[in-house]
Structures are given as C-alpha cells and as structure tokens.
Amino acid sequence: MKDIGAIHRAEYDADSDESEKIFIAEAPGRVHYLGEHGEPKAGLFLSSAIDRTMKVAVSLRKDNSLRFFAADLGERKRTTLVNLKYKREDRWANYLKTAIHGFAELGYSVKGLNFTLMGDVPQQIGLASSSAIEVAAAAALRGFFRAKINDQEMYRLLTKSSAAFFGKNSNPTDYLIHLHAKRDHFLLVDELRHEVKTIKSPLAGYKILILDSKVPRMGVDDELKQRRQDLRKGLDQLSYGNSRISFRDFVCSDLVDSLGDLPEQIRRRCMHVVKEIQRVYEMEHALRNAELALLPKIITHSHESLRDLYEVSCPEIDWLVKRAQEIDGVLGSRMTGDGFGGCTYTIISDKVIDEYKKRLDDYERIFGFRPILYEVRPASAARLL
C-alpha cells in the first residue's frame, strides 16, 4: 500500500505548516463466522478482525475548514465544524465526520483539520469497511488531541456519536471487534454485555478465504427489517413481555411449546437464533480445544439454518458453499454478511486451495458472475501508527 503520510503531505502542502505532525491510524476489517443474524442488540458472535485495514491521516490546517481526501478514489469533500452533519452525497466522508463529532461533543477544540483516507478493506460486501473508517479516524484524533481515552471510552464515544450523527442506532459489535481484536485470534463477541473474549487460532496449515459472489443485492434492508420484527414478536411471546429475558434463556423445545399461536415463519426465525447461539458456544469450545473435526458439522448446520429457517441465502451462495464443502480438506464453508448474495467464507487446507479455485470457473459458467477471492487471517486491533 502507498505511504499515506506522503500522500497526505502532498495533498495539503499549501494549506499546512510542514512542522505540524501528521497522525496516522489504522483499523481492520472484520468477518463474522457465526451469529450475525441474531437477536437485535443482544447478539453473540464468533468473529475476527482481518488483515486488511482502513488508514486515516489527520493534521492541523491554517484555517477553520475541515477537508477530506479519499486517496483511493481521488475524491475530495469539505465542511466546517458549524456545518458538521450527515450528507448523503458525502458518502465515505460521513464516517470521518462521525469521529470528529464524537470528539467535539467531548469538548475537544476542533478547528481546521485535514484528513486523508485510504485502505484495502473491500467495500460494501459486509467486511465492516465503514466502521473501520470511523475507528481509524477516532484513533488518529485520539493521538492528535493526546486524549486520555481508553478503548472502552472510545467504544462509548463512537456508539453515541454514530447514533446521533446518522440518526439511528449503530451496530456496536463492529467497534468492539476493531478495538479489541488480536492477531491470530478469533473473538467471542457479546453484544449484550459489551464483552470480547479472545480464542487462539488452532488453524495452522489452513487459510480463510472470503469469496465475493458478485450477486446483485436488492431490497435487502426491507427483508432484514421484516426478520427482525419477526424475532421481536417471537421473543415477546416467549418472555411474556419481560424485557430482561433474551433468546439465550431458551432452548429449542421452548419454541415448540410456546410459539404455537404464532405463524410458522416467526417460529423458524426464532429457532434459527436459539440454535445459532448454541453453535457459537460449540465453535468456541472446538477452537479452544483444537477439535477441528467438529468445525464442519457446526458451520454446515449454521449455513443450512440461514438458508432454511432464517431464509437469507440464495441459489448462488448455496452452490458455492456446497461445492466447497465437497472438498476433502475444507473445515467449513458458509455465507457471511447480510445475505441475499454477498460473501462466503471457507476454512481450507493449504493443500487444496487450487482445487477450490478450479470450481469457481464452473460458478462463473453456470451463474454468469465472476467472483472475487480474498485470502485473510485473524488480525490485530486498531492502532496509532
């Protein structure tokens, strides 16, 4: 990757004092292996950061303008603190502005600042590139202001700022991952308790492949909204309206006994969540104890549940997963992300990667989409460079 510091200096040379320091930070992308279609605001995830990052550079300006430069796109945006608000046309710059908003709300003196953004986290395929921008910008500003803010305080700053800036609740899980990830470790992320536990990866000799199916995704937001509504109705029925109860308090037999008066669709959605919580714990156990033989069953059942109970897969994704699962040396393959297209991940032995790639030629021939393959590994948390 190009030197963001040199790019930043060249972009803002006329507007900056060369003696001013440039503060540079990076935050990783992330992938969910299990759990992303769970109980809203109370999810349990098996995830990791990935070794692709978004980098943000920040320095002081001579005036009170806020300037933003996306080096990879060659695009520029600008505003001022007085006019700091969400604008749809500002796209990527809104995530930088979220971090500025958070520090301004804490009372830090935000005046003229220059920002440069670049990175190699693939965009809009469910690898958290947007929240990585927010966290990288916040980490750079923490260095710029020499702010005595720990990671837990940074998490609260970003969660509060994102909700205020975008006018909707953010997903705090990504912030937890960006801030607490550890190289070569998986993460058990508890959205309800705001906790992260690390699990040393036992996958020596294996790779993690992310495959972008390139299937066009339309109407996804409405579909996912409907499923979340189904979950709320089901949980309300199970808990008799007790807000302190979550899906973690139930087993599958409870759904059979308690959801008889609700439509079958709602029962299926809830069944997926209850079973997925158990699978997260099973996979945590398998990874901690290096019981790799357990992974194929856990991951396969998770994908089948997303396909049949939560109904967020599609024929192209199912084909990719099935073909991968047929290869001896694959520990698991499953959709990841919002669904209805998007990505799969595959945990695969080094020795059979070429065989896996051969099957992608058949995918393009059958479905007409040219997939894009990314090799990733569990990576470290956000940091000031």
In a domain, 149, yes or no: yes
- For residue 193, count other CB atoms closer than 10 A to its CB: 9
Q: Which residue pairs, CB below 8 angstroms and at least 24 apart, start in 85-89? A: 85/165, 86/165, 86/166, 86/167
In a domain, 300, yes or no: no
Residue 177, domain extent = 4-27+37-42+51-181
Q: Is 160 exposed, middle or buried (0-12, 13-18, 19+ CB in 10 A)?
A: middle
CATH number, residue 18: 3.30.230.10
pLDDT at residue 251, as a whole number: 73
State the total domains in the chain: 1
d(CA 176, CA 180): 6
In a domain, 177, yes or no: yes
- For strand 65-70 and strand 113-119, is the pairing parallel, antiparallel, or unpaired? parallel
The residue to which tokens 């109860």 are assigned: 245
* CA distance from start to end of the chain: 14
Query: Cα–Cα–Cα angle for 198, 204, 210, nearest 5°?
Result: 75
Just list the catalytic residues.
174
The one-letter amino acid at 326: E
In a domain, 215, yes or no: no
Q: Which candidate, 312, 147, 127, places its Cα nearest to that of 210?
A: 127
In a domain, 68, yes or no: yes
In a domain, 267, yes or no: no
pLDDT at residue 1, as a whole number: 62
- What tens-digit pLDDT sequence spans the chain (385 residues)? 679 999 999 999 866 666 679 999 999 999 999 999 998 888 999 999 999 999 999 999 989 999 999 999 999 999 999 889 989 899 999 999 999 999 999 999 888 999 999 999 998 899 999 999 999 999 999 999 999 999 999 999 999 999 888 876 667 899 999 999 999 999 999 999 999 999 999 999 999 999 999 999 887 889 999 999 999 998 888 888 777 888 888 776 666 666 667 788 998 999 999 999 999 999 999 999 999 999 999 999 999 999 999 999 999 999 999 999 999 999 999 999 999 999 999 999 999 999 999 999 999 999 999 999 999 999 999 999 9
Residue 190: phi, psi to the nearest 5?
-105, 105
- For residue 5, count other CB atoms closer than 10 A to its CB: 16
DSSP-derived 3-state class of residue 198 = strand
Distances (CA, A) of 326 to 296, 331, 332, 348: 11, 10, 10, 11
In a domain, 84, yes or no: yes
Residue 43: phi, psi to the nearest 5?
-70, 160
DSSP-derived 3-state class of residue 171 = coil
The DSSP letter of residue 95 is H
pLDDT at residue 20, as a whole number: 79
pLDDT at residue 15, as a whole number: 63
Tokens standing for 196? 């992260």
In a domain, 122, yes or no: yes
pLDDT at residue 124, as a whole number: 87
DSSP-derived 3-state class of residue 283 = helix
Beta bridge partners of 116: 57, 69
